[in-house]
Structure 1
Amino acid sequence: MSGNKPNPFGIKLNSNTVVMKKDYVSTGQLTYVEGDIIEVEMSDLKSFNLGDKVKITIYSTGGIHVFESHVVAKANGSLIILNPPENNNKFAERREHPRIEVAEEGLLQAITEAKSQERRELEEPVNLTINNISISGIGFSMFGHFELANATQLEMEMKLSSTVPIQAEIVRREKKEYGYYYGAQFTNMSADQMNSLRAYVLKQQVETYYRTKEENKKREALNQAKAQAKAARA
């Protein structure tokens, strides 16, 4: 996973943010930026719907930033806005290419070994389990004794919301009790493949973020209740 990319001149979290659609305007705070999504917390969500085209105005110490986008989710007092590609490097606290934990299936169909550069189509596709995914690569597990070397080129199918054929190159591997865990970077992605992958990752990212946010709220509420009970007994 890519780390934070500090940008002292960029847009900072907690900046006041105006979200405007054709017939409505609401104000909130920028609370989260990662990959393709931006979260704006606000008290009034009822006038916004999924797919709405919106104009975003962020008032930051570095200036006023305006761009157009779309609403991709709303829940728990916040809107999730699609972060346009032209916003790259504008945010002070943004992580690129978030790696999302998943449990999906895939099939390895052919390999090209790094040393020989000889392509070998497998007689029987080998099953694999996709453990995590981003728009730049995947982590996957293979069971049994089938072993792949670093820099091996892969031709495979990922069974996501649809079947996505991809090519990838192994960049790391780790021996496990069940077999091997591999990290691979995508290569030679077509526009259609990238669009399918981006749509899947975006959906998973939004669902994971809201789920984690809700779990954190419950944990904080529980800790607060424990602290208050402890104070009452003191």
Structure 2
Amino acid sequence: MAGGLGRRERDRAATAGLIGPEAGMALFDTARTLPHAHLVPVALDLARLREQAKGQPVPALLRGLVRAPAERTRAGAAAPRDLAADLARLPEPEQRRTLLDLVRAQAAAVLGYDGPDAVAADHAFTKLGFDSLTAVELRNRLTAATALRLPAALVFEHPTPAALAAHLWTSLAVSTDPAGAGTADVLAGLDRLEAAVGRLAAAGADSPEVADRLRALLARVTEGETDAAGVKTAVADRLEDASASDVFDFIDKELGLS
């Protein structure tokens, strides 16, 4: 079987520690002369395996020899990317395109292609050259990129890059934001606003300008809000005489931002 592999397949096999047919047959002849019942001849490049362990899981069989580097949190170090949070800031079409680009790029890397353009979105993985070993490698790469628990048969259950990207989008449970408003960024801004208004209130300061801006902002957020009887709530009337601290207290209670 190894004798029928092409150059790309041989290179990938060497990366995984497999040996060529000539060396394999010589080792087979040697193994027949030994008293051991089970032998696994494999060419291990531990330096290469340690480098690979930085970006993808170490195979269970090799974890006693090559351990993944421990993650350390250092002052000023960048936090790990949260793919779902990054996607949530994008409109849905861009979310799906980002995941498709991810799948195609990782598939190209596994197969040894020059780039993602060589991986057509609607071509079956089996037609692209995937087998059981490369399917597991792609699963491992996507697991590292998405932090999802993905099955070993991932590429067979979702047989094209487009289908697999759609599955990842669903599995990540991305909150869509068609207008691209960036809900997470808005909430982060409100956190900062809460702290600032809290400092004003603690100092006993009362700023009509702040109150006016908060009223206008709240009116935009709650436009069309109705009460239990279905009657439109007149937010401006409710807050007409409110101070800045009163307005922010209203935001806490009504929008649950405290």
TM above 0.5: no
Give the TM-score taking structure 2 as reference length: 0.20
Give the TM-score taking structure 1 as reference length: 0.22
Whichever structure has more strand as a proportion of its residues is: 1
State the structure with more CA Rg.
Answer: 2
Whichever structure has more helix as a proportion of its residues is: 2
